[in-house]
Amino acid sequence: MRISDVFKEGLLEKRSDGLLQLWKKKRCVLTEDGGGDSGKVKELHFANMKTVDCVERKGKYVYFTVVMTEGKEIDFRCPQDEGWNAEITLQMVQYKNRQAILAVKSTRQKQQLLVVQMPGQKTVRTPQTRARD
């Protein structure tokens, strides 16, 4: 991981999945792909995140839930002035936008390959390419 890829790092509290649902402090690193850091770390990649949900301010904490694409919900909290929920949301939206742009570019490249110039004949166009003309 390059240092320029790190958007935010520090402590974030995660609610445990156990019966008591205790809050455990975790060292977190927010990077361009949403991954974590070196060592014993669980990475949450933006590709696997659906949304940041249920943002609530209570006392000195902001509580929020990261909803994963498979439906799993992970609860976090941080001091109000830390802004982890906002930074995660912002970086996730930027990641999803980059993925959408790549998908559009890929689709356009595939459509361009559908336009075939045959020797001695007119250009053959598919319905998709005619719609753009």
Domain boundaries along the sequence of the chain: 3-132
CA triple 70-76-81, angle to 5 deg: 135
User: What's the pLDDT tens digit per position in 23-35?
Assistant: 999 988 888 765 5
Q: Are 68 and 51 within 8 A, CB to CB?
A: no
Laid out side by side, the sheet with 73-79 consists of 23-31, 6-15, 73-79, 61-68, 49-58
Query: How many Cα atoms are found within 13 Å in the side-chain-facing hemisphere of 107?
Result: 8
Q: Residue 85 contacts by C-beta under 8 Å, 6 or more apart in sequence?
A: 52, 55, 62, 64, 76, 78
Model-level pTM? 0.70
User: What's the pLDDT tens digit per position in 52-80?
Assistant: 998 899 999 999 999 999 999 999 999 99
Q: Under CATH, which architecture does the 3-132 domain have? A: Roll (2.30)
pLDDT band at residue 122 using 50, 70 and 90 as cut-offs: low
Residue 45, sorted as left (phi over 0), alpha (psi -120 to 50) or beta, turns out to be beta
Q: Are 104 and 119 within 8 A, CB to CB?
A: no
Percent of the chain with pLDDT over 70: 74
pLDDT at 102 > cutoff 70? yes
